[in-house]
Amino acid sequence: MEKKIYLDNAATTKTRPAVVEAMLPYFTEYFGNPSSVYELATQNKKAVDEARNTIAKALNAESSDVYFTAGGTESDNWALKATAESYSDKGNHIITSKIEHHAVLHTCEYLEKKGFEVTYLDVDENGVVKLEELKKAIRPTTILISIMAANNEIGTIQPIKEIGEIAKANNILFHTDAVQAFGQVNIDVKDMNIDMLSASGHKLNGPKGIGFLYIRKGLKLRSFVHGGAQERQRRAGTENVPGIVGFGKAVEIAMSTLEERQKKEIELRDYLIERVLKEVPYVRLNGHRTKRLPNNANFAFQFIEGESLLIMLDMQNICASSGSACTSGSLDPSHVLLAIGLPHEIAHGSLRLTLCEDNTKEEMDYVVDTTKEIVAKLRSMSPLYEDFVKGMSRQ
Amino acid sequence: MYSEKVMDHFTNPRNVGEIEDASGVGTVGNAKCGDIMRIYLDIDEEGIIKDVKFKTFGCGAAVATSSMATELVKGKNINEALKITNKAVMDALDGLPPVKVHCSLLAEEAIHAALWDYAEKNSIVIEGLEKPKSDISEEEPREEY
C-alpha cells in the first residue's frame, strides 16, 4: 500500500480539520488575552467558557469544576501532588495500580521520596484491578485512590464505577487518569463517584498541549502552577485559547459521534483480532477480550522482538507501536505487560495497534497479511524459535 | 534513527541461518534484556573461518550488528577474528545510536563465545581469548526526577 496506515491513535491522533478551523480565528482575529477588559478579549472569554461547558457536559460535571492544563501529564501531577499535600493531615497513603501511565507512577515514586506511602495494586491476567485487593489495601491513612479509566497499552477498561463506590464508602478521594478513555467510552463523574479526572486534547482528535483536570467542587486542592488568577486561581498562566477552543470542538464531535464510532471501531478491532489469533501461530491477545477500548488491539508474538517488527511494519507503511524496551530506550519491557504476567521474552514481542474510525477492513487485511510475513521472517532469524522447534522435534 | 548501513543489514541480513556440526557455536545475551545472539563458525584445519551464520532475537541494531560481525569474520583466521572489536562493527555500520552500543558489544561477545566453543571442542588454547561472559548488560543509571 502506498498510503500510510496509521494505527497508533493511542499515541496521538490526527487533529480534525473542523477542529483546526475552529482554532484558527483565535490565533489571528481573537488573539486577545481573556483577562483583559477591552472588547477584543470578550470573544475569547466566551469561547473558553463554551469549551468548558462542552467538556463538562460530556462528563456530566459542573463547568466550574473543569480546569484547563497543558495536558494529561500535568493533570495527573496536579491531582496526585496537590492531594498529597492538601490532605497530608488526614494521612499519607495512596493506592494506585501497577499498570498506570508513567505520569502517575513516576509521580507516586516522587511522593514516596517525600514520605508518602504508596500501594501499587496487582492486576489480573487481563489487566483488571482486583477490587478485593483494593479493599484490603485501604488503611485509615489512605487519602487517595488513583486508577486509570482505561489502559494505554492493552486497552483494558477498569471497573471505575465500582472503584468510585469503594472510595466513597471509605471516605477516600478517587482520581482517574482518563486520557485514553475520555471520548472513547462514556464517563459520568457523578454516577461513577469520580473526584478528579485527567484528560488530554490530542488523544481525541484535538490539539496537543491542552488538557484538563476535573476537580469536584468542595475538594481543597491547592494551586499547582502559581501566578495569575486564571482558572479560578487554581492554575495560573494565560489561557491557551486556541487549544481550549480546539479541545472543546474535538469533544463536541467525539461525543456526538461516540456510539457510531464505537460500533465501527469495535467491528474493525474484532475482525483484526480474530484474524491474527486464527492465522498467526504462537500469539496471544494482551488485555481483556471485551472490556477493552473500542480501538485497541495488543498482541504478543512469541520468539520475536517488538522493535524489529515495528521497523519492518513501518517499511510497509504501517505505523504501530510496541511495549518493547528498545523503542523506549530502556532495557526493561513494558511494565504493563510484566504486570499481567507475561515473561520478559514474550513481553518484548508485543505489538499495539490502535485504530480510528477512518480505518477500513481492507487496511486490516493488509496489516494482518503483512504482519504474518514479517513475524515469519523474524522467527526464521530467531534463536529462540530455533530452540523451540528443535525442542518440539525431540519430543 | 538508524544509519543506512544499519537499515541495510537489518532488512537484508547477511549469513542468517545455522551450520550443522559447526566447529564452534556461541550464544550470548538474555531474553530479559531483549537480545540473544547465536553465531555458528565453520573453521578449517588452517584455522580459517570458512563459513559463518547467525540467528538473533532482538532489535534492528541487534540484527544489523550480528550481520556485520559475520561479514567481518568471514574468511579471517582465528587471531584476526579475535581482534574484531565492537567498535569495528559499529564503524562498519556507520555508527549506532548510543542506547544501542550494547548490541555491538554483544556481537563481539558472540564471536568470542563461538571461538571459545571451538577451542574447547578441539582442546586448544587461543591466546588472548578469555572465557566469554554469557551476557552483556550495561547498568543504566536510574534518573532522578
Closest partner residue to B57 among A109, A333, A384, by Cβ?
A384
What's the confidence (pLDDT) of residue A392?
82
The identity of residue A369, as a single letter, is: D
pLDDT at A29 over 90: yes
CB spacing of A307 vs B59 below 8 angstroms: yes
SS3 state of residue A5: strand
CA distance A38 to A33: 10
Whether residue A326 contacts residue B34, with contact meaning beta carbons closer than 8 Å, is answered with: yes
Orientation angle between helical segments A241-256 and A258-279, nearest 10 degrees: 70
In chain B, % of residues over pLDDT 90: 79
What's the confidence (pLDDT) of residue B141?
41
Confidence grade of residue A325 (pLDDT, cut at 50, 70, 90) = low
pLDDT tens readout for residues A350-369: 999 999 999 999 999 999 99
What's the confidence (pLDDT) of residue A145?
98
CA distance A240 to A71: 11
What's the confidence (pLDDT) of residue B31?
75
ipTM of the shown complex: 0.89
For chain A, domains (ranges, CATH) are: 17-256 (3.40.640.10), 258-394 (3.90.1150.10)
Closest partner residue to A381 among B16, B61, B145, by Cβ?
B16
| Mean pLDDT along residues A372-390 | 95
What average pLDDT does chain B have? 90
Specify the CATH architecture of the domain B4-121: Alpha-Beta Complex (3.90)
pLDDT tens readout for residues B23-70: 999 999 987 778 899 999 999 999 999 999 999 999 999 999 999 999
pLDDT at A260 over 60: yes
Instruction: Tell me which residue has cell 482505561.
Output: A150
CA distance A299 to A127: 14
Task: Please list every residue in chain A whose beta carbon sits closer than 8 Å to the beta carbon of residue B99.
Answer: 326, 329
CB spacing of B59 vs A305 below 8 angstroms: yes
Confidence grade of residue A329 (pLDDT, cut at 50, 70, 90) = low
Calculate how close chain B gets to A307, using CA atoms only, in Å. 5
Calculate how close chain B gets to A377, using CA atoms only, in Å. 10
* Catalytic residue list contains B59: no
- Interstrand relation of A93-97 and A117-121 (parallel, antiparallel or unpaired): parallel
Calculate how close chain A gets to B45, using CA atoms only, in Å. 28
Which residues of A contribute to the annotated binding site for pyridoxal 5'-phosphate? 72-73, 152, 180, 200-202, 238
Calculate how close chain B gets to A114, using CA atoms only, in Å. 12
CB spacing of A308 vs B18 below 8 angstroms: no
Task: Please list every residue in chain A whose beta carbon sits closer than 8 Å to the beta carbon of residue B8.
Answer: none
Nearest-by-CA chain A residue for B141? A330
What's the confidence (pLDDT) of residue B99?
86
Helix then strand then coil, % of chain A, to nearest 5: 45, 15, 40
pLDDT at B96 over 80: yes
CA distance A197 to A68: 12
Closest partner residue to B31 among A312, A326, A344, by Cβ?
A344
CB spacing of B38 vs A333 below 8 angstroms: no
Close Cβ partners of B71 (under 8 Å, ≥ 6 residues apart): B14, B15, B92
> Among residues B3, B5, B7, B33, which one is catalytic?
B33
Task: Please list every residue in chain B whose beta carbon sits closer than 8 Å to the beta carbon of residue A304.
Answer: 57
| Mean pLDDT along residues A88-99 | 97
Chain A interface disruption, residue of B57, B105, B138, most A CBs within 10 A: B57
CB spacing of B34 vs A110 below 8 angstroms: no
Question: Which residue has better confidence, B1 or A325?
Answer: B1
Task: Please list every residue in chain B whose beta carbon sits closer than 8 Å to the beta carbon of residue A345.
Answer: 31-32, 34, 57
CB spacing of A312 vs B13 below 8 angstroms: no
pTM above 0.90, yes or no: yes
pLDDT at B71 over 50: yes
What's the confidence (pLDDT) of residue A330?
58
Query: Would you list which residues of chain B are within 8 Å, Cβ to Cβ, of chain A?
Result: 2, 7, 10-11, 13, 16, 18, 27, 31-38, 55-63, 99-100, 137, 140, 145
Nearest-by-CA chain B residue for A313? B11
The identity of residue A176, as a single letter, is: T
What's the confidence (pLDDT) of residue A336?
96
Question: Which residue has better confidence, B3 or B144?
Answer: B3
SS3 state of residue A284: strand
What average pLDDT does chain A have? 95
Closest partner residue to B99 among A308, A329, A343, by Cβ?
A329
Confidence grade of residue B140 (pLDDT, cut at 50, 70, 90) = very low
